[in-house]
Amino acid sequence: MAGNTFGKLLQITTFGESHGASIGGILDGVPSGLSIDIESIQSELDRRRPGTSQLTTARKEHDIVEIFSGIIKNEDESLITTGTPVGFGIQNNDAKSKDYSYLKNAYRPSHADYTYEAKYGLRDIRGGGRSSARETACRVVGGAIAKQLLFAASKVEISAYVERVHDISVPFPPAYFERSVIDENIVRCPSKDIADRMIQRIEDVKNTGDTVGGSIVVVAKNVPSGWGEPVFDKLEADLAKALMSIPAVKGIEVGSGFSGTLMKGSEHNDAFRTDKVGKVNTETNRSGGIQGGISNGEEIVLRIGFKPVSTIKKEQNTVNRDSEEMKIIGKGRHDPCVLPRAVPIVEAMVALVLGDHLLRQRSARL
Protein backbone atom coordinates (compact mmCIF):
# COMPACT_ATOMS: atom_id res chain seq x y z
CA MET A 1 0.00 0.00 0.00
CA ALA A 2 3.03 2.19 0.15
CA GLY A 3 3.26 2.25 -3.64
CA ASN A 4 5.91 -0.33 -4.41
CA THR A 5 3.74 -3.41 -4.14
CA PHE A 6 1.49 -4.74 -6.91
CA GLY A 7 -1.03 -7.56 -6.92
CA LYS A 8 -3.29 -9.20 -4.39
CA LEU A 9 -2.46 -12.91 -4.26
CA LEU A 10 0.52 -12.93 -6.58
CA GLN A 11 2.24 -9.89 -5.22
CA ILE A 12 5.45 -8.18 -6.26
CA THR A 13 7.29 -5.60 -4.17
CA THR A 14 10.37 -3.91 -5.59
CA PHE A 15 13.17 -1.66 -4.41
CA GLY A 16 16.11 0.09 -5.90
CA GLU A 17 17.49 3.18 -7.51
CA SER A 18 19.35 3.55 -10.74
CA HIS A 19 22.69 4.10 -9.06
CA GLY A 20 22.35 2.43 -5.66
CA ALA A 21 24.03 -0.83 -4.71
CA SER A 22 21.41 -3.02 -6.31
CA ILE A 23 17.79 -3.31 -7.28
CA GLY A 24 15.56 -6.23 -6.46
CA GLY A 25 12.24 -7.46 -5.28
CA ILE A 26 10.11 -10.05 -3.61
CA LEU A 27 7.50 -12.07 -5.45
CA ASP A 28 5.12 -13.41 -2.85
CA GLY A 29 2.27 -15.81 -3.42
CA VAL A 30 3.92 -18.08 -5.97
CA PRO A 31 2.23 -21.45 -5.44
CA SER A 32 4.40 -24.37 -4.38
CA GLY A 33 5.33 -27.09 -6.82
CA LEU A 34 6.05 -24.89 -9.83
CA SER A 35 9.09 -25.95 -11.85
CA ILE A 36 11.32 -22.97 -12.43
CA ASP A 37 13.55 -22.38 -15.45
CA ILE A 38 16.13 -19.80 -14.34
CA GLU A 39 17.52 -19.37 -17.84
CA SER A 40 14.13 -18.34 -19.05
CA ILE A 41 13.99 -15.62 -16.39
CA GLN A 42 17.44 -14.42 -17.37
CA SER A 43 16.52 -14.43 -21.06
CA GLU A 44 13.62 -12.07 -20.33
CA LEU A 45 16.01 -9.77 -18.51
CA ASP A 46 18.38 -9.93 -21.45
CA ARG A 47 15.60 -8.74 -23.73
CA ARG A 48 15.13 -5.67 -21.55
CA ARG A 49 18.83 -5.01 -21.11
CA PRO A 50 20.30 -1.93 -22.78
CA GLY A 51 23.43 -1.99 -24.84
CA THR A 52 22.36 -4.88 -26.99
CA SER A 53 21.82 -3.01 -30.22
CA GLN A 54 22.50 0.32 -31.82
CA LEU A 55 18.98 1.38 -30.89
CA THR A 56 19.54 1.36 -27.17
CA THR A 57 21.67 3.22 -24.70
CA ALA A 58 25.28 2.11 -24.52
CA ARG A 59 24.96 1.86 -20.75
CA LYS A 60 26.14 -1.61 -19.85
CA GLU A 61 23.75 -3.16 -17.43
CA HIS A 62 24.88 -6.71 -16.92
CA ASP A 63 21.62 -7.47 -15.22
CA ILE A 64 22.24 -10.91 -13.85
CA VAL A 65 19.36 -11.97 -11.65
CA GLU A 66 20.18 -13.69 -8.37
CA ILE A 67 17.44 -15.60 -6.59
CA PHE A 68 17.76 -15.80 -2.83
CA SER A 69 14.78 -17.78 -1.60
CA GLY A 70 11.54 -19.57 -2.35
CA ILE A 71 13.03 -22.08 -4.77
CA ILE A 72 14.78 -25.35 -3.88
CA LYS A 73 16.44 -28.13 -5.80
CA ASN A 74 14.72 -31.41 -6.34
CA GLU A 75 16.81 -34.55 -6.13
CA ASP A 76 17.35 -34.38 -9.89
CA GLU A 77 18.75 -30.82 -9.48
CA SER A 78 15.71 -29.29 -11.15
CA LEU A 79 14.25 -26.28 -9.39
CA ILE A 80 10.85 -26.05 -7.77
CA THR A 81 9.01 -23.39 -5.80
CA THR A 82 8.24 -23.98 -2.13
CA GLY A 83 5.35 -21.53 -1.77
CA THR A 84 7.47 -19.08 0.24
CA PRO A 85 8.43 -15.65 -1.13
CA VAL A 86 10.92 -15.46 -3.96
CA GLY A 87 13.53 -12.82 -3.12
CA PHE A 88 15.78 -11.65 -5.93
CA GLY A 89 18.35 -9.00 -6.72
CA ILE A 90 20.27 -7.46 -9.61
CA GLN A 91 23.56 -5.69 -9.01
CA ASN A 92 24.08 -2.16 -10.29
CA ASN A 93 27.47 -2.53 -11.94
CA ASP A 94 27.76 0.36 -14.28
CA ALA A 95 26.61 3.18 -12.08
CA LYS A 96 28.52 6.23 -13.26
CA SER A 97 27.16 8.74 -10.82
CA LYS A 98 29.38 11.52 -11.99
CA ASP A 99 27.37 11.76 -15.21
CA TYR A 100 24.56 13.29 -13.21
CA SER A 101 26.20 15.88 -11.00
CA TYR A 102 25.11 18.63 -13.38
CA LEU A 103 21.52 17.79 -12.47
CA LYS A 104 21.88 18.74 -8.87
CA ASN A 105 19.99 21.95 -9.27
CA ALA A 106 18.25 21.54 -12.62
CA TYR A 107 14.95 19.88 -13.38
CA ARG A 108 14.96 17.97 -16.67
CA PRO A 109 11.78 18.75 -18.62
CA SER A 110 9.17 15.97 -18.59
CA HIS A 111 11.29 13.93 -16.19
CA ALA A 112 10.40 13.23 -12.56
CA ASP A 113 13.09 15.49 -11.08
CA TYR A 114 10.70 18.28 -10.20
CA THR A 115 7.89 16.08 -8.98
CA TYR A 116 10.08 13.88 -6.76
CA GLU A 117 11.36 16.99 -5.05
CA ALA A 118 7.85 18.35 -4.77
CA LYS A 119 6.77 15.14 -3.11
CA TYR A 120 9.73 14.22 -0.93
CA GLY A 121 11.58 17.51 -0.46
CA LEU A 122 14.76 15.92 -1.79
CA ARG A 123 15.81 13.43 -4.43
CA ASP A 124 18.53 11.02 -5.46
CA ILE A 125 19.90 12.87 -8.47
CA ARG A 126 21.97 9.95 -9.72
CA GLY A 127 20.38 8.68 -12.91
CA GLY A 128 16.88 9.60 -11.90
CA GLY A 129 17.07 7.52 -8.74
CA ARG A 130 13.90 5.55 -8.21
CA SER A 131 12.21 7.25 -11.16
CA SER A 132 14.66 5.60 -13.55
CA ALA A 133 13.22 2.95 -15.83
CA ARG A 134 15.88 0.70 -14.37
CA GLU A 135 13.34 -0.41 -11.78
CA THR A 136 11.43 -2.17 -14.52
CA ALA A 137 14.09 -4.88 -14.57
CA CYS A 138 12.53 -6.17 -11.34
CA ARG A 139 9.13 -6.28 -12.98
CA VAL A 140 10.61 -8.39 -15.74
CA VAL A 141 11.96 -10.91 -13.21
CA GLY A 142 8.61 -11.14 -11.45
CA GLY A 143 6.76 -11.32 -14.74
CA ALA A 144 9.01 -14.13 -15.99
CA ILE A 145 8.05 -16.26 -13.00
CA ALA A 146 4.39 -15.33 -13.48
CA LYS A 147 4.66 -16.49 -17.10
CA GLN A 148 5.93 -19.86 -15.96
CA LEU A 149 3.07 -20.11 -13.50
CA LEU A 150 0.50 -19.16 -16.13
CA PHE A 151 1.77 -21.68 -18.63
CA ALA A 152 2.06 -24.49 -16.10
CA ALA A 153 -1.41 -23.88 -14.71
CA SER A 154 -3.38 -22.93 -17.83
CA LYS A 155 -1.16 -22.91 -20.93
CA VAL A 156 -1.51 -19.13 -21.03
CA GLU A 157 1.06 -17.40 -23.23
CA ILE A 158 1.71 -13.69 -23.56
CA SER A 159 3.43 -11.96 -26.44
CA ALA A 160 4.03 -8.28 -27.18
CA TYR A 161 5.52 -6.52 -30.17
CA VAL A 162 6.24 -3.05 -31.45
CA GLU A 163 3.31 -2.07 -33.64
CA ARG A 164 4.35 1.47 -34.43
CA VAL A 165 7.43 3.71 -34.10
CA HIS A 166 6.68 7.38 -34.59
CA ASP A 167 4.32 7.22 -37.59
CA ILE A 168 5.61 3.97 -39.04
CA SER A 169 3.09 1.26 -38.26
CA VAL A 170 2.46 -2.33 -39.22
CA PRO A 171 -0.51 -2.58 -41.59
CA PHE A 172 -2.30 -5.42 -39.77
CA PRO A 173 -4.58 -5.53 -36.72
CA PRO A 174 -3.33 -6.82 -33.37
CA ALA A 175 -2.55 -10.53 -33.37
CA TYR A 176 -0.52 -13.10 -31.47
CA PHE A 177 3.03 -13.61 -32.76
CA GLU A 178 5.59 -16.07 -31.50
CA ARG A 179 8.57 -14.59 -29.76
CA SER A 180 10.89 -16.14 -32.34
CA VAL A 181 9.27 -13.93 -34.97
CA ILE A 182 9.23 -10.82 -32.82
CA ASP A 183 12.83 -11.09 -31.69
CA GLU A 184 14.08 -11.64 -35.23
CA ASN A 185 14.93 -7.95 -35.48
CA ILE A 186 16.23 -5.44 -32.98
CA VAL A 187 13.10 -3.31 -32.98
CA ARG A 188 10.87 -6.27 -32.09
CA CYS A 189 8.37 -5.74 -34.89
CA PRO A 190 6.95 -8.90 -36.46
CA SER A 191 7.07 -7.42 -39.99
CA LYS A 192 10.61 -7.38 -41.37
CA ASP A 193 9.94 -4.60 -43.87
CA ILE A 194 8.31 -2.34 -41.36
CA ALA A 195 11.04 -3.18 -38.85
CA ASP A 196 13.68 -1.98 -41.26
CA ARG A 197 11.89 1.31 -41.72
CA MET A 198 11.43 1.70 -37.97
CA ILE A 199 15.14 1.08 -37.38
CA GLN A 200 16.03 3.67 -39.99
CA ARG A 201 13.69 6.20 -38.39
CA ILE A 202 15.17 5.65 -34.95
CA GLU A 203 18.66 6.06 -36.36
CA ASP A 204 17.70 9.26 -38.12
CA VAL A 205 16.10 10.74 -35.03
CA LYS A 206 18.98 9.66 -32.85
CA ASN A 207 21.39 11.46 -35.13
CA THR A 208 19.55 14.72 -34.52
CA GLY A 209 19.72 14.22 -30.74
CA ASP A 210 16.00 13.61 -30.63
CA THR A 211 13.74 10.73 -29.62
CA VAL A 212 10.53 9.00 -30.71
CA GLY A 213 7.67 7.03 -29.21
CA GLY A 214 5.07 4.68 -30.64
CA SER A 215 2.83 1.81 -29.65
CA ILE A 216 3.11 -1.77 -28.48
CA VAL A 217 0.50 -4.48 -28.83
CA VAL A 218 0.25 -7.29 -26.33
CA VAL A 219 -1.83 -10.42 -26.72
CA ALA A 220 -2.48 -13.18 -24.18
CA LYS A 221 -3.81 -16.45 -25.48
CA ASN A 222 -5.42 -19.43 -23.75
CA VAL A 223 -6.72 -17.31 -20.90
CA PRO A 224 -9.72 -19.28 -19.62
CA SER A 225 -13.06 -17.56 -19.25
CA GLY A 226 -13.85 -16.41 -15.73
CA TRP A 227 -10.79 -14.37 -14.69
CA GLY A 228 -11.34 -10.87 -13.30
CA GLU A 229 -13.08 -9.45 -10.23
CA PRO A 230 -15.88 -6.92 -10.70
CA VAL A 231 -16.54 -4.18 -10.00
CA PHE A 232 -13.26 -2.41 -9.30
CA ASP A 233 -10.72 -5.15 -9.95
CA LYS A 234 -12.02 -5.83 -13.41
CA LEU A 235 -9.44 -7.60 -15.52
CA GLU A 236 -9.07 -4.62 -17.86
CA ALA A 237 -8.85 -2.23 -14.90
CA ASP A 238 -5.99 -4.13 -13.31
CA LEU A 239 -4.29 -4.41 -16.70
CA ALA A 240 -4.69 -0.68 -17.29
CA LYS A 241 -3.11 0.14 -13.98
CA ALA A 242 -0.27 -2.32 -14.55
CA LEU A 243 0.52 -0.91 -17.97
CA MET A 244 0.02 2.75 -17.08
CA SER A 245 2.57 2.30 -14.29
CA ILE A 246 5.30 1.63 -16.87
CA PRO A 247 7.39 4.75 -17.46
CA ALA A 248 6.46 6.81 -20.58
CA VAL A 249 3.04 5.21 -21.13
CA LYS A 250 0.38 7.78 -22.11
CA GLY A 251 -2.46 5.64 -23.40
CA ILE A 252 -4.10 2.22 -23.05
CA GLU A 253 -6.63 0.54 -25.26
CA VAL A 254 -8.49 -2.72 -24.67
CA GLY A 255 -9.79 -4.57 -27.68
CA SER A 256 -11.31 -2.11 -30.13
CA GLY A 257 -10.05 0.83 -28.06
CA PHE A 258 -10.71 4.35 -29.28
CA SER A 259 -11.50 3.22 -32.82
CA GLY A 260 -14.29 1.08 -31.38
CA THR A 261 -15.90 4.23 -30.00
CA LEU A 262 -16.60 5.28 -33.58
CA MET A 263 -18.72 2.21 -34.26
CA LYS A 264 -22.40 1.62 -33.61
CA GLY A 265 -23.50 -1.04 -31.17
CA SER A 266 -24.64 -3.27 -34.00
CA GLU A 267 -21.17 -3.03 -35.52
CA HIS A 268 -19.24 -3.42 -32.29
CA ASN A 269 -20.97 -6.29 -30.51
CA ASP A 270 -19.21 -9.65 -30.59
CA ALA A 271 -21.78 -12.25 -31.53
CA PHE A 272 -21.50 -15.58 -29.75
CA ARG A 273 -21.30 -18.82 -31.73
CA THR A 274 -20.08 -22.35 -31.19
CA ASP A 275 -17.11 -23.97 -32.84
CA LYS A 276 -16.95 -27.46 -34.30
CA VAL A 277 -16.56 -29.10 -30.92
CA GLY A 278 -19.38 -27.10 -29.39
CA LYS A 279 -17.23 -24.62 -27.51
CA VAL A 280 -18.66 -21.10 -27.26
CA ASN A 281 -16.60 -18.33 -28.80
CA THR A 282 -17.22 -14.99 -30.50
CA GLU A 283 -17.28 -14.13 -34.19
CA THR A 284 -15.24 -10.97 -33.62
CA ASN A 285 -13.13 -9.87 -30.66
CA ARG A 286 -13.77 -6.15 -30.25
CA SER A 287 -14.14 -6.80 -26.54
CA GLY A 288 -10.47 -7.77 -26.46
CA GLY A 289 -11.20 -10.94 -24.57
CA ILE A 290 -12.90 -9.26 -21.61
CA GLN A 291 -16.60 -8.62 -21.00
CA GLY A 292 -17.94 -7.05 -17.82
CA GLY A 293 -14.46 -7.19 -16.34
CA ILE A 294 -14.13 -10.95 -16.77
CA SER A 295 -12.22 -12.89 -19.42
CA ASN A 296 -14.41 -14.61 -22.00
CA GLY A 297 -11.93 -17.12 -23.38
CA GLU A 298 -10.92 -15.08 -26.44
CA GLU A 299 -7.48 -13.57 -26.85
CA ILE A 300 -6.83 -10.66 -24.52
CA VAL A 301 -5.67 -7.75 -26.66
CA LEU A 302 -4.25 -4.42 -25.52
CA ARG A 303 -2.45 -1.51 -27.12
CA ILE A 304 -0.07 0.70 -25.16
CA GLY A 305 1.11 4.14 -26.31
CA PHE A 306 4.60 5.32 -25.30
CA LYS A 307 5.62 8.96 -25.49
CA PRO A 308 9.03 9.88 -26.91
CA VAL A 309 11.93 9.59 -24.44
CA SER A 310 12.31 12.81 -22.43
CA THR A 311 16.10 12.93 -22.45
CA ILE A 312 17.14 14.67 -25.65
CA LYS A 313 20.51 16.05 -26.70
CA LYS A 314 19.12 19.46 -27.43
CA GLU A 315 19.01 22.61 -25.42
CA GLN A 316 15.76 23.08 -23.50
CA ASN A 317 14.28 25.67 -21.19
CA THR A 318 13.90 24.75 -17.57
CA VAL A 319 14.27 26.07 -14.02
CA ASN A 320 16.48 25.22 -11.09
CA ARG A 321 15.74 24.62 -7.41
CA ASP A 322 15.70 28.34 -6.81
CA SER A 323 13.00 28.70 -9.47
CA GLU A 324 15.42 30.51 -11.77
CA GLU A 325 14.98 29.94 -15.45
CA MET A 326 17.95 28.27 -17.16
CA LYS A 327 18.95 26.05 -20.10
CA ILE A 328 19.73 22.34 -19.99
CA ILE A 329 21.10 19.78 -22.45
CA GLY A 330 20.73 16.05 -21.86
CA LYS A 331 23.93 14.11 -21.21
CA GLY A 332 24.72 10.50 -20.66
CA ARG A 333 23.62 7.50 -22.58
CA HIS A 334 19.95 7.23 -23.35
CA ASP A 335 17.69 5.37 -25.71
CA PRO A 336 16.36 7.28 -28.69
CA CYS A 337 13.33 4.96 -28.53
CA VAL A 338 12.33 2.75 -25.61
CA LEU A 339 9.83 0.56 -27.39
CA PRO A 340 12.01 -2.43 -28.29
CA ARG A 341 13.16 -2.75 -24.69
CA ALA A 342 9.66 -2.08 -23.36
CA VAL A 343 8.28 -5.23 -25.03
CA PRO A 344 9.39 -7.59 -22.22
CA ILE A 345 8.23 -5.07 -19.60
CA VAL A 346 4.75 -4.97 -21.10
CA GLU A 347 4.63 -8.74 -21.17
CA ALA A 348 5.80 -8.89 -17.56
CA MET A 349 3.11 -6.56 -16.28
CA VAL A 350 0.41 -8.48 -18.16
CA ALA A 351 1.78 -11.72 -16.72
CA LEU A 352 1.72 -10.35 -13.18
CA VAL A 353 -1.92 -9.32 -13.56
CA LEU A 354 -3.02 -12.57 -15.14
CA GLY A 355 -1.09 -14.63 -12.60
CA ASP A 356 -2.83 -12.75 -9.82
CA HIS A 357 -6.26 -13.35 -11.33
CA LEU A 358 -5.48 -17.01 -12.01
CA LEU A 359 -5.17 -17.38 -8.24
CA ARG A 360 -8.04 -15.09 -7.36
CA GLN A 361 -10.40 -17.05 -9.56
CA ARG A 362 -9.81 -20.11 -7.36
CA SER A 363 -11.99 -18.48 -4.70
CA ALA A 364 -14.93 -17.59 -6.92
CA ARG A 365 -17.02 -20.68 -6.32
CA LEU A 366 -17.91 -22.82 -3.34
Ranges within 95-134 binding a second copy (CB under 8 A) = 107, 109-112, 114-116, 118-124, 129-131
From the number of C-beta atoms within 10 Å of its C-beta (0-12, 13-18, 19+), residue 279 rates as exposed
b/e map 166-183, b = 16+ CB within 10 Å: bebbbeeebebbebeebb
Residues from 10 through 39 that contact a second copy (CB under 8 A): 10-11, 13-17, 20-26, 28-29, 31-34
Asked if 63 is part of the footprint of a second copy (rule: CB under 8 A), the reply reads: no
Beta-bridged to residue 254, according to DSSP, are 302
Nearer to a second copy, 29 or 51 (CB): 29
Identified binder of a second copy from the candidate list 98, 207, 232, 276, rule CB under 8 A:
232
Asked if 207 is part of the footprint of a second copy (rule: CB under 8 A), the reply reads: no
Identified binder of a second copy from the candidate list 156, 236, 300, 345, rule CB under 8 A:
236
First to last CA, the chain: 29
Q: Which stretch, 47-55, 191-199, 223-231, 340-348, contacts a second copy (CB under 8 A)?
A: 223-231
Least Å from the CB of residue 180 to a second copy:
27
CA atoms within 13 A on the CB side of 96: 9
Nearer to a second copy, 180 or 363 (CB): 363
Nearer to a second copy, 39 or 167 (CB): 167
Asked if 262 is part of the footprint of a second copy (rule: CB under 8 A), the reply reads: yes
Nearer to a second copy, 66 or 178 (CB): 66
Nearer to a second copy, 60 or 250 (CB): 250
The rounded distance, in Å, linking the Cα atoms of 173 and 125 is: 42
Residues from 176 through 205 that contact a second copy (CB under 8 A): 205
Query: What is the signed CA dihedral for 257, 262, 266, 267, rounded to 10 degrees?
Result: -70
Task: Specify whether the CB–CB gap between 23 and 135 falls below 8 A.
Answer: yes
Least Å from the CB of residue 308 to a second copy:
4
- Name the residue type at position 118: A
Total residues belonging to the chain = 366
Residues from 331 through 350 that contact a second copy (CB under 8 A): none
How many Å separate Cα 231 from the centre of its chain? Answer: 24
